[in-house]
């Protein structure tokens, strides 16, 4: 399978970005953008259309929650599905993320199958 969807993975850990990118590539996605934090991601998004955003929570410059809030206030980005990949697994943190516009979340460490399930669901791939 190959998919033409464009995906951005936002994480300050290059290792985590590589894991996510490799997993997505194995699933058939080839159009994958990267950013180290929210500020860089906004810069990338201003120049590229993406179909789904996969973002970390804890990052320098602009953390994932602030990034999500910023996106949801902008009509250009209000409808883009956002998957948060986080170590913040406390129920209240998850609720905070969802309340602020995250569509779904994956708790680190995660399996390729979990990432696939959540990404496919948000892109409506069956
Ligand atoms: Mg981080």
Residues facing 63 on adjacent strands: none
Ligand 1 mean position, distance from CA 2 (Å): 29
Ligand 1 mean position, distance from CA 41 (Å): 14
Mean pLDDT rounded to a whole number for the chain: 96
First and final CA of the chain: distance in angstroms?
A: 12
At 50, the pLDDT band (50, 70, 90 cuts) reads very high
pTM of the model: 0.96
Ligand 1 mean position, distance from CA 1 (Å): 30
Ligand 1 mean position, distance from CA 108 (Å): 11
Residue 125 pLDDT exceeds 80: yes
Helix (H/G/I), strand (E/B), else coil: 28: coil
Given this model, what pLDDT does residue 88 score? 76
Ligand 1 mean position, distance from CA 63 (Å): 8
Check if the beta carbon of residue 89 is closer than 8 Å to that of residue 114: no
Given this model, what pLDDT does residue 40 score? 98
Structure tokens belonging to residue 4: 């033409």
Q: What is the pLDDT of residues 72-112, one digit of tens each?
A: 999 999 999 999 998 877 889 999 999 999 999 999 999 99
Question: What structural domains does the chain harbor?
Answer: 3-123 (3.40.50.2300)
Ligand 1 mean position, distance from CA 97 (Å): 15
Ligand 1 mean position, distance from CA 22 (Å): 18
Stretch 102-125: mean pLDDT, rounded?
A: 96
């Amino acid at each position: 399978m190959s998919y033409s969807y464009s995906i951005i993975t936002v994480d300050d850990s290059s290792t985590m970005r590589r894991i996510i990118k490799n997993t997505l590539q194995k699933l058939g996605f080839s159009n994958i953008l990267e950013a180290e934090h929210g500020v860089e991601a906004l810069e990338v998004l201003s120049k590229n259309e993406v179909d789904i955003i996969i973002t970390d929570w804890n990052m320098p410059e602009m953390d994932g929650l602030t990034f999500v809030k910023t996106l949801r206030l902008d009509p250009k980005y209000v409808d883009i599905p956002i998957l948060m990949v986080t170590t913040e697994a406390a129920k209240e943190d998850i609720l905070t993320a969802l309340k602020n516009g995250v569509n779904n979340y994956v708790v680190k460490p995660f399996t390729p199958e979990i990432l696939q399930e959540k990404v496919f669901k948000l892109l409506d791939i069956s």
